[in-house]
Amino acid sequence: MASKSLTAFFILYSFLGYIPSFGVILRTTDKIVWANEFQPIELTCLIESISTNNPRIEWKKIKNGIPSYVYFQNKISGDLEHRAQLIQPANLLILNTSRSDTAEYRCEVAAIDDHKHFDEILISLAVRVKPVVPRCSVPLAVTVGTSSELRCLENEGFPASQYRWFRNNEELPQDPKSSLKFINSTYTINSDTGGLKFRRVRKEDAGEYFCQAKNDAGHAECPAQLMEVYDVDIVGIFLKVLAALAGFIIVMVGICHAHKHGCFSSGKDHTGTNYKLSAQENGVDYTEADEGHFRHKSSFII
């Protein structure tokens, strides 16, 4: 049916003599076509001139330099089967584009009765893909005055996503100097990589952060995460306390070893009453304790 009306179309054209039939000439409305994934798109292959009644029409897909048939012997084949159709005169309509359709497409028309009996046209199709929810990393707690980096990334979006950061649902301006509210903040945003870097974190930088990945096909956000800012380095203090405690224990063990009996055996040497007495009297009986190691032991227990 398609080829019948196609023929009628060309007969009419030749009859009216609008186009001198030197040969087949193709034209397209767009050589570079963008489509959104899961939406239809039509690649146009218009026949400007032809005098052959029944030209042979073929479409090929060229991906990474390898051609494959899309329309061949009057039917759709390959991975576009059931997803595309030919529209007069030779347009290719893809009903539900997929990201794998991003490729070059070549429309080829062979008209054996024409003087110039072959023409082809190359169209490049790029399918936009929406970003997925980005993976975000926000430090739980940072110390005032230190540097800090928040990261955000997703790899599905095409073209590659651009990133924006929000704090307490308010967008951080690309340049903090451009806003009175953020003027004292020391951050920089890399909208290509998704990084948000603070050179020196301030108390005011604390808050709930989330990031948005966006391209021409859509956008997606990660859930907000809280970043707390502390005046002092609590982790550092904890580590110092731990180190001090470890040092103390090492010194104690050293002292115990220095004495021939060792701490535990010397504890057994003393009677239970003596031991209890020193503990009850809160170390007041230091003068009564004649042995240095005993004194150490009692003070350690208290």
Min CB(36)–ligand NAG separation in Å: 12
Site string for ligand NAG, 127-166 (x = CB under 6 A): ----------------------------------------
Q: Looking at beta carbons only, is 63 or 83 nearer to ligand NAG?
A: 83
Q: Is 168 in the site for ligand NAG (CB under 6 A)?
A: no
- The answer to whether 56 touches 113, Cβ cutoff 8 Å, is no
Q: Is 100 in the site for ligand NAG (CB under 6 A)?
A: no
Min CB(97)–ligand NAG separation in Å: 8
Write out 54-107 in H/E/C secondary structure.
CCEEEEEEEECCEEEEEEECCEECHHHCCCEEEECCCEEEECCCCHHHCEEEEE
Min CB(125)–ligand NAG separation in Å: 16
Residue 50 makes CB contacts below 8 A (sequence gap 6+) with 10, 21, 23, 24, 25, 109, 111, 114
Which of these segments, 28-36, 64-72, 131-139, 181-189, binds ligand NAG (CB under 6 A)? Answer: 181-189
The secondary structure of residue 290, as a DSSP letter, is -
- Using CA atoms, how far apart are residues 73 and 90, in angstroms rounded to an integer? 13
Q: Looking at beta carbons only, is 58 or 156 nearer to ligand NAG?
A: 156
Peptide bond into 89 cis (omega under 30): yes
User: Considering only residues 27-86, where is the footprint of ligand NAG by CB under 6 A?
Assistant: 38
Binding residues for ligand NAG, rule CB under 6 A, total: 6
* Torsion on CA atoms 200, 206, 212, 213, rounded to nearest 10: 30
Site for ligand NAG, rule CB under 6 A: 38, 96, 98, 181, 183-184
